[in-house]
C-alpha cells in the first residue's frame, strides 16, 4: 500500500506488470483494513460524499487512529456502504487482480481507547447505566471506538459492535461473486452467522507453549460457533519464538483447517529457513503432509455442507468413552472429520 492507505498499491515498489506475472499464476490475497485514511484520497472523499462513515456520540464523523494515522471507519449498517466498499475494492482490482480478501483490524480496531478526539458533551460511556452487566474488563473501549458512537438509523456501537465485521464480510463476498470468484475471505472479527460469508483466524496470539496448546480449544470453540475454516498464527505473533516451539507448532499447525505462519514486525524472523535446520525440516515434512491430505480435508468440508464440526474433540466422535473427557486428552487431542486423530506435542 501507499502509506498504509486502503485500496492503493505502491507501484514504485510493486510495478503492476510484475504483479500481473504473479497474479496470472498464483492466488493473491491482499489485506484490507477497516480504517479509512483521512486525506484527499479517493477512499476518504468518496466515503464522505456518500455519508457512509461512523459518527461520534454527537453525530459528527468519528476519527480514530490506525496504521495510516488518522482514520475514520465505514458504517456497514448504512444502506450505501456495501456499494461504496465494493466500488473501492474494484479500484484496487482494476490495478491488480486478487483472488480473495483478508479483512483485518475490523473489530473496529483503534489505537486510541474509545475516542482519539473526544466529541464533547455526552462523550462518556457509563458502564453502570448503559450496560446490564460488566463483561469482565476494566475498559471495554480499549483499542476500539467509543461504545456510544452512532451508526445509521441511530444504532449505538455498544449494541451492534459484534456485527459490523460480518456486514463487511458480506459486502466483500458480494464483490468477489460479481467478479465470478468463489469468495475466500479471512476476517479477524467474526460473530454468529459470519461463516455464511467468510472464514476466521483467531487474532494476535503469542509465541508461547500456552498459546500453542490453547489454539486447539480456540479452534474447537469456533467450530461450535459455526466457523469451520479457522486457525491461529503458527509459531505465534507476539514475542520471540524458539526453535523447538516453532518446530512443534508446524506439526500441529499443518493440521489446522486454516494454516499460516505470521509474526509481529518487532520479533525475530520466524520463516523456517531463518530458525535453523530443525524448524526447516519440520516445516517441510509437515506442510508436505498437509498437501497430501488437502483433498481429504476438502472432502470433509464438502460433505458437511457448512454444518457441524470438522476439527473437534475426540469425545465428539466417541461419545461413550469417558476417558476422553479428562483435560489431558480433551484439551490436547483432536479429530479431523471422523477418521483422523491427532495427538500433538503441546509442551
| Known active-site residue 204 | yes
Report the distance separating Cα 308 and Cα 272, nearest Å: 34
Report the distance separating Cα 38 and Cα 147, nearest Å: 21
Report the distance separating Cα 246 and Cα 60, nearest Å: 47
Region of 229 (left: φ > 0; alpha: ψ -120 to 50; beta: rest) is: beta
Phi and psi, residue 339, nearest 5°:
-125, -15
Residue of 117, 204, 244, 331 marked catalytic: 204
Residue 330 near residue 316 (C-beta atoms within 8 A): no
If DSSP codes are grouped into helix, strand and coil, which group holds residue 256?
coil
Residue of 11, 107, 117, 244 marked catalytic: 107
| Known active-site residue 107 | yes
| Known active-site residue 331 | no
Sign of CA dihedral 264, 268, 272, 274: positive
| Residues in CB range of 83: below 8 A, 6 or more apart | none
Report the distance separating Cα 209 and Cα 291, nearest Å: 25
Residue of 6, 33, 56, 104 marked catalytic: 104
Give the residue numbers marked as catalytic: 104, 107, 204
Amino acid at each position: 500500500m501507499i502509506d498504509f492507505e486502503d485500496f492503493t498499491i505502491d507501484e514504485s515498489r510493486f510495478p503492476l506488470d510484475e504483479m500481473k506475472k504473479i497474479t496470472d499464476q498464483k492466488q493473491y490475497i491482499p489485506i484490507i483494513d477497516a480504517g479509512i485514511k483521512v486525506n484527499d484520497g479517493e477512499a476518504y472523499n468518496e466515503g464522505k460524499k456518500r455519508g457512509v462513515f461512523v459518527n461520534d456520540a454527537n453525530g459528527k464523523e468519528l476519527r480514530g487512529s490506525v496504521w495510516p494515522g488518522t482514520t475514520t471507519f465505514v458504517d456497514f449498517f448504512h444502506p450505501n456502504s456495501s456499494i461504496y466498499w465494493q466500488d473501492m475494492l474494484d479500484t484496487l482490482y482494476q490495478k491488480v487482480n486478487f483472488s480473495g480478501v483478508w479483512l483485518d483490524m475490523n473489530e473496529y480496531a483503534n489505537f486510541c481507547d474509545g475516542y482519539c478526539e473526544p466529541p464533547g458533551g455526552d462523550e462518556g460511556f457509563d458502564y453502570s447505566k448503559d450496560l446490564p452487566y460488566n463483561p469482565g474488563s476494566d475498559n471495554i473501549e480499549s483499542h476500539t471506538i467509543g461504545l456510544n458512537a452512532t451508526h445509521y438509523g441511530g444504532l449505538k456501537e455498544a449494541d451492534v459492535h459484534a456485527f459490523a465485521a460480518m456486514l463487511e464480510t458480506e459486502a466483500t463476498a458480494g464483490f468477489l461473486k460479481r467478479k465470478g470468484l468463489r469468495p475466500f475471505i479471512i476476517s479477524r472479527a467474526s460473530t454468529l452467522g459470519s461463516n455464511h460469508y467468510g472464514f476466521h483466524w483467531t487474532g494476535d496470539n503469542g509465541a508461547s507453549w500456552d498459546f500453542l496448546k490453547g489454539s486447539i480449544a480456540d479452534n474447537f470453540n469456533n467450530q461450535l460457533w459455526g466457523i469451520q475454516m479457522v486457525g491461529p498464527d503458527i509459531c505465534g505473533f507476539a514475542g520471540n519464538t524458539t526453535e523447538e516451539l516453532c518446530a512443534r507448532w508446524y506439526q500441529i499447525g499443518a493440521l489446522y483447517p486454516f494454516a499460516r505462519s505470521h509474526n509481529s514486525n518487532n520479533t525475530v524472523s520466524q520463516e523456517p529457513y531463518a530458525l535453523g535446520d530443525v524448524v526447516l525440516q519440520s516445516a517441510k515434512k509437515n506442510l508436505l503432509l498437509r498437501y497430501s491430505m488437502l483433498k481429504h480435508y476438502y472432502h470433509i468440508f464438502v460433505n458437511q455442507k457448512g454444518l457441524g464440526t470438522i476439527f473437534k474433540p475426540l469425545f465428539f466422535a466417541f461419545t461413550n468413552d469417558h476417558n476422553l473427557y479428562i483435560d489431558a486428552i480433551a484439551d490436547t487431542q483432536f479429530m479431523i472429520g471422523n477418521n483422523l486423530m491427532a495427538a500433538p506435542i503441546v509442551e
